[in-house]
Amino acid sequence: MLNKGLFPVAVSFIIAIIIFNLSRFGLCLWHFDETKANLLSVFLYGIRYDLSILSIIFAPLVLIIVAISKIEKLRIVFNTAVTIYCAFILALITFLEVVTIPFMNEYGVRPNHIFLEYLIYPKEVFNMMLSGHKFDSIIGLLSFALAFFLFFKLFKKLTNSYKPSSLKSLAIQFLFVLIVLPLLARGSLTHKPLNPSNAAFCESQTANSIPVNSAFNLFYVSKHLGENSVNSSEIYAFATVNEVIDSVDNLSKADFITSDSNCPILQKITPSVEVKRKKNVVVILLESFGAQYVKSLGGLDLAPNIDKLSEDGWFFTNMFATGHRSVRGIEAITASNLPSPLPSIVKLSNKEKLATLFSIYEKVGYRTSFIYGGESHFDNMRTFFFNNGADTIIEQKDYKSPSFTASWGVSDEDLYNKANEYFSEEYKNNTPFCSLIFTSSFHDPFDIPKGKVDISNIKSNDVKRHMAVKYADYALGKFFEKAKKEPYYKDTIFVVIADHDSRAKNYSHFPLSNFHIPAFIIDSDIKPKKDNRLVSQIDILPTILSLSGISAKVPLAGQDLTKDGIVQRAPIIYYYTYAYLEKEDGKTVITTLSPGIAPESFIVDKDHNFIKKTENINLKRKVDFLNLPIAMFNHSLNKAKCIKDISIN
């Protein structure tokens, strides 16, 4: 006879599976074009994930219920705990499936590591939800509260009274808990347990994420956050140092020195200019500013200042971001670090000082600074920059009377005003400075000062987002208006580049257009020009070193864009899908590699649409590039102590 104490668990299993599949059904309807050919697979795989996560959640509870079944006093007390636990779990499952909708609308996939990473910043998240997502927040909280109330009532009835099972029946139940539930939890009889990539059946990240219920997805990524995930690769193989050397030599057209066993990847930077005095360097990192908002790059007419400023400098019309998160842009631009499925180096506690924008420039006597409008602890930026060469960090607490404060910090105007004041003071001290400015006004929930901009000439279904991007452009224009009047301007190299695009979503193929970003360099010694070559964020650091007149050997993978004959390519990571974009025989070709799916190559048109599948004779070489960033981290190749023979001509 089944122990009636197990009824709440059995009922919870059934109700949870119903919730999961109703949600899955709704998501399939929403994304019917991507899932219609694989509907059966979606639901069959879905059951595996459902049974797995429910077994993980309820196995300890079942074990306790069976163990104390004959101990009446404990059993009575524990009934209340079972009621609360089951009601809470079902309410949580309901909540997670409800919030999947707005999350997927923003990121294109189910709640994942981004969802969890934000939870460690409660202040920012609370303000963001309160300011821009009130409806979503209310619906989510109501769904949790209502579900908990209803399920608590139900399970209270189920645990009122029951007769314990016989000893023989309890023994069978105990064996079931010890043998069957662990197998269901593992979800696989192979050497590797069930993971989200098992459900990959097509090229759409969105479609591939639908079978995996959100509870399983969050449980899985929670186990793989942080440094534990870099000890071994569960998705791709690690490369040897020799393979890294071979790959980097093909990845970038540069003078690589590979004879030093302690620093096997050293790029010799030969400056393209002779400088009379050390030039200041200011890198302006624009939050979420994709090409889709820039008219001169084929986007909306929301960035007139970027269009105008780019005409005064060296404008890269074919620049691609390495990822769709800020930490990816930061590591690529400040450390020439390639994208990988591993956590960003920004978020890791690196044991050794790395070769970065700041650690390189400090070696030639520059004052280095990171200027941000929010709290610099976000995404571990404060630790990363201080550990790798930053002298000064300016953050939200350093703005005495900001004109406007939003969820993520002070407005971009306040940020730029502070930066302008700081640069003016540094220049008076006759010390060259290298600074990274990171904007935040164009960040969900897009709080901006009123009365600054309007988009009445733009037909938009996303007014708040488009108002914010136009304000970010407006503030950038105001900064350059002021900077041009300052003495430091003529002696400064300005790099303006986005960290990533906003709302990168993959409803069909790899969302390539969402990695196209604006980028330009303004320097009094550079004649304005348009550069149509296909390039990457990882090329920025070697390029500005060259423009600064710096000669050095540095462990950087990017290439100096002042040189002719570069390799036109861009490595990109989108969640666990790796892409290698390149110019090949006059055509733009993208090669993608996803877990569980064979590598594929496509010809891409000027609008970044995949127009033709192609056989790629160099496919293995491109796939090998994925090993490069993993191995560079695994073998600690990007070390500051590998910065050698550095000087300014």
The pair of structure tokens assigned to 15 is 């109700």
User: Which pLDDT value is given to residue 609?
Assistant: 86
**What is the rounded CA–CA span in Å between residue 601 and residue 581?**
9
User: Which pLDDT value is given to residue 289?
Assistant: 95
**What is the rounded CA–CA span in Å between residue 107 and residue 105?**
6
User: Which pLDDT value is given to residue 230?
Assistant: 41
User: Which pLDDT value is given to residue 227?
Assistant: 43
**What is the rounded CA–CA span in Å between residue 644 and residue 555?**
9
User: Looking at the predicted structure, is the pLDDT value of residue 231 above 50?
Assistant: no
Q: What percent of the chain has pLDDT above 70?
A: 82
User: Looking at the predicted structure, is the pLDDT value of residue 131 above 50?
Assistant: yes
Give the mean model confidence (pLDDT) for residues 402-408.
91
At 82-116, the pLDDT tens digits run 888 999 999 999 999 998 988 888 777 888 777 77
At 139-193, the pLDDT tens digits run 888 999 999 999 998 888 776 655 555 556 666 666 777 777 778 888 777 656 7
At 458-504, the pLDDT tens digits run 777 788 889 999 999 999 999 999 999 999 999 999 999 999 998 76
**Which backbone phi and psi does 531 adopt, to 5 degrees?**
-115, 110
User: Which pLDDT value is given to residue 73?
Assistant: 61
Confidence of residue 563 (pLDDT cuts 50, 70, 90): very high
User: Looking at the predicted structure, is the pLDDT value of residue 235 above 50?
Assistant: no
User: Looking at the predicted structure, is the pLDDT value of residue 62 above 90?
Assistant: no
At 275-318, the pLDDT tens digits run 888 999 999 999 999 999 999 999 999 999 999 999 999 999 99
pLDDT, the chain, mean: 84
At 585-608, the pLDDT tens digits run 889 998 887 766 777 888 999 888
Nearest to 538 by CA among 505, 513, 515, 522: 515
Kindly report which listed range (33-47, 426-440, 619-633) carries the lowest average pLDDT score: 619-633
User: Which pLDDT value is given to residue 263?
Assistant: 83
User: Which pLDDT value is given to residue 547?
Assistant: 96
Per CATH, which fold does 241-648 belong to? Alkaline Phosphatase, subunit A (3.40.720)
- Do strands 577-584 and 569-574 pair parallel, antiparallel, or not at all (unpaired)? antiparallel
How many CA atoms are closer than 13 Å to the CA of 239, on its beta-carbon side?
23
User: Looking at the predicted structure, is the pLDDT value of residue 420 above 90?
Assistant: yes
Determine if the pTM surpasses 0.85. no
**Better-scored residue on pLDDT, 334 or 591:** 334
User: Which pLDDT value is given to residue 340?
Assistant: 76
Strand segments (E) across 137-203? none
User: Which pLDDT value is given to residue 65?
Assistant: 73
**What is the rounded CA–CA span in Å between residue 560 and residue 551?**
12
**What is the rounded CA–CA span in Å between residue 570 and residue 98?**
36
**What is the rounded CA–CA span in Å between residue 553 and residue 260?**
11
Nearest to 342 by CA among 330, 328, 329: 328
Amino acid in the structure at residue 117: E
CB atoms closer than 10 angstroms to residue 187: 22
At 343-387, the pLDDT tens digits run 788 887 666 889 999 999 999 999 999 999 999 888 889 989 999
Kindly report which listed range (263-267, 287-291, 299-303, 614-618) carries the lowest average pLDDT score: 614-618
**Which backbone phi and psi does 417 adopt, to 5 degrees?**
-60, -40
Which residues are paired to 639 by β-bridges?
A: 354
User: Looking at the predicted structure, is the pLDDT value of residue 529 above 60?
Assistant: yes
User: Which pLDDT value is given to residue 446?
Assistant: 85
User: Which pLDDT value is given to residue 178?
Assistant: 72
User: Which pLDDT value is given to residue 199?
Assistant: 75
Q: Are 581 and 339 in contact (CB under 8 A)?
A: no
User: Which pLDDT value is given to residue 240?
Assistant: 60
User: Looking at the predicted structure, is the pLDDT value of residue 72 above 60?
Assistant: yes
User: Looking at the predicted structure, is the pLDDT value of residue 429 above 60?
Assistant: yes
Nearest to 533 by CA among 580, 495, 572, 583: 583
**CATH 3.40.720.10 residue window(s) in the chain:** 241-648
Confidence of residue 618 (pLDDT cuts 50, 70, 90): low
